[in-house]
Amino acid sequence: MRRTREGWKKIALASTAVFWLAASPAGADNAEREVWRLFVADHTAPVVRAIDLETGTGLGNFDLKGFAALTASASGRTVFAVQTEADMVQAISTGIAVSDHGEHRDVDIKAPEMLPVSFEGRRPVHAVPHDDRMILFFDREGRADVVGEDALLEGKTDIRAVDATAPHHGVAVTMGRHTLVSVPATKAEVKPDELPPRLGLRVLDESGKQVGDVTPCTALHGEALSARLVAFGCEEGVLLARPGGSAGPKLEMLPYGGALPKSKVTTLLGGKSMQFFLGNFGEDKLVVIDPDAEEPYRLVELPTRRVDFALDPARAKNAYILTEDGDLHLLNVLNGSIVGTVRVTEPYSKDGHWRDPRPRLAVAGDVIAITDPRHSLVRIIDIETFSESRTIPVEGMTFAIVAVGGSGIDH
């Protein structure tokens, strides 16, 4: 059979198409994507707003029972809205799931949504993420709930209650099969509307039975995880919990020593890709803590009082500190020096009520997102240039903020 020139051209084009389909790997339509979302709590209304970082568009408003502090889970798949005055914790699915497949990562992107499961208890304050769990502490219950994230995202409850002996402003952290729980001074005299102080930390096994004695940690406040270590702030120093196998974690106090001024750590952040901690040391100082160094504390003096601070999970040496004069500082945690400063907001004084509207910051990939309550904005700071690149207007009075996201192949 004879073919015309046009016929041969059609066959050639079809053959070329078949060749490209055969030569292309399965999933060639899959795109490499990086996606980040901001979740911003309002200072004057019980609502959390989800925002697409790239476009600045709103992805949904989530009504709460009360005003909230926000904590993202370790995976970033959920954000917990801790509503202390409303005796309630609610959870939002971020719609972003990043999974590791060895030679590559996948990113699954959906719309964010409020999850149907909530957690009630008197005066929830601390929410601690660890692996696939979130540990919620209810101060006036004397109880912590260990919440499984997988079940939560399926609209189910997977809760293990941990007895904290008595109501107090406390915290619980899981560590393998054990749980570290603060201990109140139950014999202390307190007013009817007050809670007893913390005097130490105890270790519980899987059955809830205490392992060993209570380890002293006066006025325990602040906790963080770094690598396989957990740290707690105390009057005497920073208490470390190291893995100890089946016998339970090993507890070790790092005393402040005479080289540091009189103060204490009450807020801690833990390094992700390096093992270290960054803690406040009073209002206008920080300490970089190397648990295995001969001198574990490196003091960092700030020009004015600290408003908020954060570690960069991707850039191990970077920490960012916002001070009350409106400046954002870049701290090199390796040598404890401030290597960059930029003015980002008007001054926000630390005087006044602790819950007065002040900026908060979150690291989102290559940028830092900073709320500016007076102007209903989220200010975006480019990390490379350390300067403001744009702003995102947000309805209401922007306050607490968390960022979740990552990169991977979007199937």
Which residue has better confidence, 152 or 192? 152
Task: Please count the helices (runs of H) and the strands (runs of E) in the chain.
Answer: 2, 34
The contacts found for 324-328 with CB under 8 angstroms, 24 or more apart, are 324/348, 324/349, 324/350, 324/358, 327/303, 328/361, 328/368, 328/370, 328/381, 328/386
Q: How far apart are CA 57 and CA 392, in angstroms?
A: 9
Element (H, E) at 332: strand 327-332
Is 10 a residue whose pLDDT tops 80? no
Q: What percentage of the chain exceeds 90 in pLDDT? A: 82
**405 — phi, psi (to 5°)?**
160, -165
pLDDT of residue 12: 41
For residue 362, pLDDT beyond 60: yes
Q: What angle do CA 214, 219, 222 make, to 5 degrees?
A: 95
Instruction: Give the pLDDT of residue 246.
Output: 82
* pLDDT classification of 175: cutoffs 50, 70, 90: very high
Q: What is the pLDDT of residues 12-34, one digit of tens each?
A: 444 333 333 333 344 445 778 88
Coarse DSSP helix, strand, coil percentages of the chain, rounded to the nearest 5 percent: 5, 50, 45
Q: With bands split at pLDDT 50, 70 and 90, how would you rate the model's confidence at 247?
A: confident
Q: What is the pLDDT of residue 101?
A: 63
Minimal CA–CA distance to 311: which of 295, 289, 294?
A: 289
> Phi, psi at residue 65, to the nearest 5°?
-85, -30
With 0-12 / 13-18 / 19 or more C-beta atoms within 10 angstroms meaning exposed / middle / buried, residue 366 is middle
pLDDT value, residue 398: 98
Phi, psi of 211 (to 5 degrees): -110, 115
**What is the C-alpha separation between 121 and 143, in angstroms, rounded?**
9
Name the more confident of 144 and 31: 144
CB 243, CB 175: distance < 8 Å: yes
pLDDT at residue 33, as a whole number:
83
